[in-house]
């Protein structure tokens, strides 16, 4: 929004869309849109690659147990925050300010922007490397310059998407076209690699022992890390939903299914073709070139999600730039980083993010579930000392558990502590969400 001024009046402050609830009349997402969006965001080559990290340390049975439990729990946390975002109409930055204070919340908001720059760069690198591998499989893109060109190509496509409407992208492109194609691709790859596994070992495949080095609870941390990485983004989309319960159901079902499927497929590929680079292994499957190409197209919405939410968070701090303008800046930065930075060591990066955002949103859920978030935001001070202290205690618990009790995991103890303390210290019943008027339609 442009600044206006006159000789008599001071310059008008630009509107801060991230801290203003989306009006009910402008919301259009139903449960199907939430489920389609989060299934699509849950599918990705990056997710499959992380799934491959679970083996051979774990056997197939233990890996599947960690995958299902971690996906249900992680998606449940996403769904809970989605309901809070939908009920309030606020973006994630607004939820953070309502809990931690308008001044202190800038710290987690900045941390979120940094992680989104990292994730956006990861996604561009994955898309670039996969497209170059596909091109070489087809007999082109052999020259080194194709890596540079592919990075710019994906960055340009991402910039084009960020320039448009997020709501229309979800309703028209993701729900109607991208989702059916990616489901068919996943089904084909699963059928192909399951057949390869059966041909190799038959019934013995399921009973393979793990090589050791990772227990089920630490593996659960690694599975939870992926949905946890989306926690600071989910309200940015859920705020466009018409009903909080629909946002909860759609987000939970959509993401849990996608995360379980992709992690399990990553395990299946790693056990079937051990020692192969992941994208190369997918290309070796019958029809893998087509399936990988379709999944690669779907990967774009993951990068888009990072850029859009990073833009919303940035806009909350500096509203003089619109969300669209911040989105283009995010895409430009991610593209530059993808060209110059080595992107390795994914597992430590994921676990480091979990150590920050698991307790951060444990506090948010404990304080805001069922509360009038907009009223709390209006009364929030610069620093809310109690939630800040609980968050710090949660981070400390996470790292202490990793060092001194690794066999018990770290995410669950940190989450349990922060949820319990935040609930005990939550605002009083006067801050509960007011009931809508009787003549208000329930979408």
Residue pLDDT, tens place only, 173-187: 666 667 788 888 889
d(CA 224, CA 220): 6
The domain spanning residue 266 has which CATH number? 1.10.4160.10
Residue 262 in domain:
yes
Residue 322 to residue 314: CA distance in whole angstroms: 9
pLDDT above 60: residue 83: yes
Whether 360 maps to a domain, the answer reads no
pLDDT at 122: 84
| 439 part of a folded domain | no
Cα dist from 264 to 66, 268, 282, 304, 348, whole Å: 10, 6, 14, 24, 21
Contact 47, 226 (CB under 8 A): yes
pTM (2 d.p.) = 0.86
pLDDT of residue 172: 65
Identify the burial level of 119 via C-beta atoms within 10 angstroms of its C-beta, where 0-12 means exposed, 13-18 middle and 19 or more buried.
buried
User: Is residue 160 situated within a structural domain?
Assistant: yes
Q: Is the pLDDT of residue 51 over 60?
A: yes
Distance from C-alpha of 441 to C-alpha of 433, rounded to nearest angstrom: 17
Establish if 2 belongs to a structural domain.
no
Examine the pLDDT at 143 and tell me if it is beyond 70: no
Helices (H), 11-105: 31-42, 45-52, 60-88, 92-100
The dihedral through the CA atoms of 124, 229, 49, 263 has a sign that is: negative
Convert the pLDDT of each residue in 34-50 to its tens digit: 999 999 889 888 888 88
Its domain, for residue 94, covers: 31-344
Query: Is 77 inside a domain boundary?
Result: yes
What pLDDT, on the 0 to 100 scale, is given for residue 437?
Answer: 45
Helices 216-229 and 346-368, packing angle to 10 deg: 70
Report residue 168: phi and psi, to 5°. Answer: -70, -35
Q: Please give the Cα distance from 76 to 256 (Å, whole number).
A: 8
Percentage of residues of the chain with pLDDT beyond 70: 88
Residue 393 to residue 109: CA distance in whole angstroms = 19
- The more confidently predicted of residues 349 and 245 is 245
| Cα gap 91→97, rounded to integer Å | 10
The one-character DSSP state at 176 is: I
Q: Is 355 a domain residue?
A: no
Average pLDDT over residues 5-13: 40
pLDDT tens digit string along 303-323?
Answer: 888 999 999 999 999 999 999
What three-state secondary structure class fits 241? strand
Range in 208-217, 266-275, 322-331 the model is least confident about: 208-217
Q: What is the pLDDT of residue 12?
A: 40
pLDDT band per the 50, 70, 90 thresholds, residue 421? very high
Q: What pLDDT score does 431 carry?
A: 59
* Structural domains in the chain (count): 1
Higher pLDDT, 390 or 270: 390
**By mean pLDDT, which of 234-248, 316-330, 364-378, 425-439 is the weakest?**
425-439
What pLDDT score was predicted for residue 324? 92
Asked if 361 and 96 touch (Cβ cutoff 8 Å), the reply is no
pLDDT, average across residues 247-267 = 95
* Mean pLDDT of the region 396-404: 92
Contacts of 171 (CB under 8 A, 6+ apart): 28, 29, 33
Q: Which residue has the tokens 């888009």?
A: 304
Is 353 part of a structural domain of the chain?
A: no
- Among the listed residues 347, 124, 108, the one whose alpha carbon sits nearest the alpha carbon of residue 233: 108
Per-residue model confidence as pLDDT tens digits over 262-304: 999 999 988 888 877 777 777 777 777 777 777 777 778 888 8
């Amino acid at each position: 929004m442009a600044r206006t001024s006159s000789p008599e009046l001071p310059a008008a402050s630009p509107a801060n869309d991230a801290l203003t609830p989306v009006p009910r009349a402008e919301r259009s997402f139903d449960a199907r849109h939430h489920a389609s969006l989060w299934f699509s965001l849950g599918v990705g080559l990056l997710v499959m690659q992380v799934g491959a990290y679970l083996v051979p340390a774990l056997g197939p049975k233990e890996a599947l147990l960690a995958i299902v439990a971690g996906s249900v729990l992680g998606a449940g946390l996403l769904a809970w925050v989605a309901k809070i975002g939908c009920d309030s109409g606020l973006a994630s930055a607004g939820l953070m300010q309502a809990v931690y204070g308008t001044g202190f919340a800038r710290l987690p908001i900045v941390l979120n922007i940094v992680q989104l720059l990292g994730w956006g760069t990861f996604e561009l690198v994955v898309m670039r490397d996969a497209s170059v591998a596909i091109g070489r499989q087809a007999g082109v893109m052999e020259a080194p310059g194709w890596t540079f060109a592919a990075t710019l190509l994906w960055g340009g496509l991402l910039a084009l998407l960020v320039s448009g409407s997020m709501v229309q992208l979800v309703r028209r492109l993701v729900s109607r076209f991208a989702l059916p194609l990616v489901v068919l691709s996943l089904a084909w790859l699963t059928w192909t690699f399951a057949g390869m596994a059966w041909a190799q070992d038959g019934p013995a495949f399921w009973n393979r022992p793990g090589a050791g080095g990772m227990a089920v609870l630490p593996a659960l941390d690694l599975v939870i890390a992926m949905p946890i990485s989306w926690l600071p983004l989910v309200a940015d989309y859920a705020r466009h939903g018409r009903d909080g319960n629909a946002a909860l159901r759609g987000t939970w079902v959509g993401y849990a299914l996608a995360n379980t499927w992709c992690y399990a497929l990553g395990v299946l590929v790693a056990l079937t073709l051990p020692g192969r680079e992941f994208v190369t292994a997918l290309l070796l499957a019958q029809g893998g070139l087509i399936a990988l190409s379709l999944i690669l197209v779907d990967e774009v919405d993951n990068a888009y999600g990072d850029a859009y939410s990073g833009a919303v968070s940035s806009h909350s701090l500096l509203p003089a730039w619109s969300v669209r303008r911040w989105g283009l800046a995010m895409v430009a930065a991610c593209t530059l980083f993808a060209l110059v930075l080595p992107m390795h060591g994914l597992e430590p990066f994921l676990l480091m993010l979990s150590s920050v955002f698991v307790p951060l949103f444990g506090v948010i859920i404990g304080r805001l579930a069922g509360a009038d978030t907009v009223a709390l935001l209006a009364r929030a001070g610069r620093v809310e000392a109690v939630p800040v202290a609980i968050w710090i205690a949660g981070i400390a618990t996470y790292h202490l558990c990793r060092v001194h009790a690794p066999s018990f995991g770290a995410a669950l103890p940190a989450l349990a502590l922060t949820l319990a303390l935040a609930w005990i210290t939550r605002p009083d019943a006067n801050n509960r969400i007011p009931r809508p008027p009787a003549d208000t339609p329930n979408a």
